[in-house]
Structure 1
């Protein structure tokens, strides 16, 4: 009888996982992009359906790397999904390597005008745009914002998208609120601006459009400086939570705490920065719904 009760309890916890189409690059070595997103989103009980935009031997923080641009066959890849009638509960997009890829993604999204679209507008960091980000690419991403439900830019990307002069620190709350309003005006209902640091805290500006705009500051104690790939971890948690119905502000707090725990553990273990943070140690807690990542 007890075994039957336990089995019934497990059965009640089962559900058909939601599906996310994840558009991002793949790096074979160095934790980032799809090699982080797939296990994290899966651990949060969401099925991940990858769409590779580029394939890297390792991320670009190493002295050398191999890169294969997937643009020539990306359209055909997605066309087969359309032909087969695949459907998704959300689309999550990270790195796009060119303006041409932006156009392909816009065409893909046009099939599902009501499906939530989570965009991490990967454009640059520390005040500089990546070399792949041409003016045409930037304008394409701005247009893509009109379709986005949620965006997760860092402060550099928020400045690039709005034409705001970048500075590393000294942002006032009203200045960040203005940035958020400008981003909302481009389309998304939910915005989080990351990559801000104030004293011993990391700052995330959370802004949501409901009857008006609700803006708040989230603070997380630093566990060291920012590591490669943490933006992908952050956005992946936001994307999975979006389809699981988690309130946006709660999701931001969870993602920030998870990233902090991963950085802290990686420093303690002496993991080289080039290899990214050891998020694998925390996947079980993420899957179990234990989001108290204080160390």
Structure 2
């Protein structure tokens, strides 16, 4: 990684609540990477556990921001997308990837739109189909099993067999340039597994971390952001997956026991551990 490495992350800003850009910006920056942001929307809070939150959609701003960057000659070594506010935005984001990514740059797509068998508020199958098209521009895609099922038009269930997880990852290889990181294998007792597929090398492997039975908003963003930072620090996809899983686990451990902290995980307290993780793996 050069000192001038620049990443653009495109996702929403939740002014309160630990998710999306408020996770991606500090976590990716902690890896020593200059991180620019492009907000897809601004919300007063995130949408889980809060009511009457405000939302300002920034769709109309995206093409004007791209034009200004084009005028200024601004390019990025990588682009990392997360929560996108609308189907229309996906087309603008494709234009940004086409015009603002340096030759040989990397695209990371976290198709943040669903979990636990359901779409997030405001999303539907039409959006999932459009997200699948965005995924095809990604060098890395990082879906959970729910998002994978919607992209693939498969029924979701609480648990998939190990063989089904591998099959799903193989099917997802049609929706990425190279790598699939599929989250959610629960077959090893006490462990959470991720399928790591490289279709260029025709390899598929499992990466496991200790499992903590704790559900919180924003853990997917913590995982994705630390994965991106690890890859940009020259870690292999499997090693980056391991680091991201360990970092997310530490963030959860820092949160457990605080009953007032119901809106995310305390990833900030886990950031000092990133340096040890990068040295260990």
TM-score (norm 1): 0.88
Distance apart, 1:136 and its partner CA? 3.0
Task: From 3, 6, 9, give the equivalent of 1:22.
Answer: 9
- What pairs with 1:1-295 in structure 2 (closer than 5 Å)? 16-61=3-48, 62-111=50-99, 112=101, 114-169=104-159, 171-198=160-187, 199-212=189-202, 214-274=203-263, 276-286=264-274, 288-291=275-278
Does structure 2 conserve the Cα–Cα contact (< 8 Å) formed by 1:202 and 1:222? yes
Q: 1:195: Cα distance to partner?
A: 3.3
* Cα distance between partner residues in 2 of 1:173 and 1:99: 32
Cα-to-partner distance string for 1:32-80 (whole Å, 9 max, x where unaligned): 1100111100100011100000101111111231111001211101211
Once residues 223 and 271 of structure 2 are traced to their aligned partners in structure 1, the CA distance between those partners, rounded to angstroms, is: 13
Partner secondary structure for residue 186 of structure 2: strand
Give the CA deviation at 1:114: 3.7
Structure 2 alignment gaps of length 5 or more: none
Deviation track 1:6-31 (CA, whole Å, cap 9, x = no partner) reads: xxxxxxxx962411010010011111
Give the distance between the partners of 1:290 and 1:176, measured in 2 at CA: 27
Instruction: State the distance in 1 between where 2:214 and 2:245 align.
Output: 13
Closer, same or farther: CA 83–49 of 1 in aligned 2, 3 Å:
same
* Length, aligned pairs only: 276
* Structure 1: runs of 5+ lacking an equivalent: 1-13
| 1:271–1:277 Cα contact (<8 Å) kept | no
Q: Secondary structure at the match of 1:115?
A: strand
CA distance in 1, matches of 2:276, 2:30: 10
Which stretch has the larger CA shift, 259-268 or 148-157? 259-268
**Distance in 1 separating the partners of 2:246 and 2:98:** 35
Preserved contact between residue 113 and residue 147 of structure 2 (Cα < 8 Å): yes
What secondary structure does 2:158 align onto?
coil
Query: Which protein has the larger Cα radius of gyration, Structure 1 or Structure 2?
Result: 1
State the TM-score, normalizing by the size of structure 2: 0.92
Report the alpha carbon displacement of residue 291 of structure 1 after superposing the two structures with TM: 5.0
